[in-house]
Amino acid sequence: MHRSTWRRFFRRTARAAATGAVIAGLAVVAPLASSAAAAGTLQQVTGFGSNPGNLAMYEYAPSDLPADAPLVVALHGCTQSASDYHAHSGWQKFADEWGFAVVYPQTSAANNSLSCFSWFDSAKDTRGKGEAASVMQMVDTAVAQYGSDRGRIFVTGLSAGGGMTADLLADYPDVFAGGSVDSGLPAQCATTQSAASSCQYSNQNLTPKAWGDKVRNSFAGYSGPWPRVAIWQGSSDTTVTPVNGTELRDQWTDVWGIGQTASSTRSLTGGTTESIYDDFAGKPAVALFSVSGMAHGLAVHPGSGADQCGTTGAYYLDSICSSYHTAKFWGLDGSGDQGGTGSLPAPSGLTVTGTTDTGAALSWNAVGGAASYNVYRDGTEAGSATGTTFTDTGLSAGTSYAYTVAAVDSSGAVGASSAPVTATTTGSAPKCYTDNNYNQVVAGRAHQSLGYTYANGSNQYMGLYNVAVTHTLKETSAGYFVIADSGC
């Protein structure tokens, strides 16, 4: 956004943020002389790479961190710091309880006058460039240090850090298994600072596909699997308006190839509504958490309860522990419920090899360790195969269907779903006609015998030959009609 816009908003809040930090007893951790950080404390790591984005790296890990543990990258908001975010956000509690390391990138006034991550600068927030590249160097350093599981690397961020989180998920879907955008913005919403304020305050009026294309174009040629994305948005946020939550939902559901209608919703504490959007295997892919009445900030909920965390402060707002629900959504609690898949990767190379009026043939590349493959049509399992080909039958002519494939191991665990492909059957789409029985006969779609009506072709019974009985008839082939009252 315009520099003057940032200054007007944050001039009155930077002083409060600084005061809150003093009251909370936060201290900036002094840099270490080496690249290793002591376990159980937040410390700075130096020498983590060429650092083209001029960021600082901080990290935290419990003293008993096991090998192959997950890794979380957490990005602070404007006017904040790594130590501030670590102290308030609640991520330390769950790192200790569930066993994972946390990396906190930190920007400074040297990069942005308000210490904001540059989510709006294409020279800094795209794959291999600037701040995005620096974050990846931090990830590589932490993975080498802790022996982290590269299949369980996640990223989260608040406000400008949330905008950068969305960019990182788009830039590096091959690295991050999941993300959480807290009071943030869609990936690549703005590519210049002057365009940033429009993203913050206004509806961009883009279709889900246009939003999804911004992700797909960030790493051209990549076809999945895609990260699982949680979105947190306050309904009373006037700094990053609530439409950004909707746009993020549209963006990532489109990337996954699923619709914008929630698979399930439920009410959580703090006036929070959780809407889940399942992938084609029926596992959560996108989650939208809308917090009623919450202004701009990170949702925390201080206390000793299992689902409580964090401390309040400037932009740390008491409503619900977002870190707890985000970690659960990613499956960091060890339940495996929200990660949604077994260990097998998504099959690559899913292709439509042929179509007929009533069928579609598919092929894909083999996955090591797969005992079979599940094939999903429009989100519902259409069948399975032991090889890498499948022909779906019984389809309607001239109709488009979305397909994904997932590998299944010998224990029956279903792996990640492939990127979707669309198959359109040949011929003309079935035509449907809704009318009373008398008019159906007059139009030549049905016939009557002894005062009763029957569909032409299928000869299905339709009831009395009069204007009081109405049916929908579907023409599945020339002159062949079937009753389709339940939907056409």
pLDDT value, residue 256: 94
Cα 251 to Cα 341: distance, rounded to the nearest angstrom? 22
Q: In which domain, by residue range, is 419 found?
A: 351-424
Q: What's the CA gap between 286 and 304, in Å, rounded? A: 28
pLDDT at residue 39, rounded to an integer: 55
- Kindly state whether residues 144 and 261 are assigned to the same domain: yes
**From residue 236, how far is each of 183, 241, 300 by CA, in Å?**
11, 8, 16
- In this predicted structure, what is the pLDDT of residue 197? 92
Structural domain includes residue 172? yes
Domain boundary residue among 330, 362, 377? 330
How far apart (Å, rounded) are the C-alpha atoms in residues 211 and 228?
Answer: 16
Catalytic residue among 83, 159, 363, 418: 159
- pLDDT for 29 equals 32
- The pLDDT value recorded for residue 31 is 33
Q: Buried b vs exposed e over 100-125: b needs ≥16 C-beta within 10 Å?
A: bbbbbbbbeeebbebbbbbbbbeebb
Q: Are residues 110 and 54 in the same domain?
A: yes
> Are 419 and 436 found together in one domain?
no
In a domain, 128, yes or no: yes
Burial (0-12, 13-18, 19+ Cβ within 10 Å), 379:
middle
Write the DSSP symbol of residue 26.
-
* CB half-sphere exposure, 107, CA atoms < 13 A: 30
Asked whether residue 342 is domain-assigned, the answer is: no
Q: How many domains does the chain have?
A: 3
Residue 409 shares a structural domain with residue 439: no
pLDDT in tens, the chain (488 residues): 433 334 333 333 333 333 232 222 222 333 333 334 445 789 999 999 999 999 999 999 998 898 889 999 999 999 999 999 999 999 999 999 999 999 999 999 999 999 999 999 999 999 999 999 999 999 999 999 999 999 999 999 999 999 999 999 999 999 999 999 999 999 999 998 889 999 999 999 999 999 999 999 999 989 889 999 999 999 999 999 999 999 999 999 999 999 899 999 999 999 999 999 998 888 899 999 999 999 999 999 999 999 999 999 999 999 999 999 999 999 998 754 443 445 788 899 999 999 998 899 999 999 998 999 999 887 678 889 999 999 999 888 888 888 889 898 887 788 877 877 889 898 877 789 999 999 999 999 999 999 999 999 999 999 999 999 999 999 877 889 999 987 77
pLDDT digits (tens, 9 = 90+) for 439-472: 999 999 999 999 999 999 999 999 999 999 999 9
On whether both 82 and 132 belong to a single domain, the answer is: yes
The pTM of the whole model exceeds 0.85: no
The residue from 424, 440, 464 where one domain ends is 424
Query: What is the reported pLDDT for 335?
Result: 58
CA atoms of 4 and 141, how far apart (whole Å): 37
- For 104, the token pair is 């906190």
User: Helix 130-146 vs helix 160-171: angle between axes, to the nearest 10 degrees?
Assistant: 80
Closest to 236 measured CA to CA, from 193, 280, 297: 297
- Amino acid 82: pLDDT: 97
How far is Cα 96 from Cα 65, in angstroms, rounded to an integer?
A: 8
The CA-atom distances, in angstroms, between 287 and each of 328, 342, 403 are 11, 20, 22
Q: What is the dihedral of CA 18, 183, 226, 211, to 10 degrees?
A: -130
Structural domain includes residue 345: no
Answer with the one of 281, 296, 330 that is the final residue of a domain: 330
Residue 409 lies in a domain: yes
396 catalytic? Reply is no
Mark whether 178 and 228 lie in a shared domain: yes
Domain membership of residue 18 (yes or no) is yes
Give me the pLDDT at residue 23, please: 24
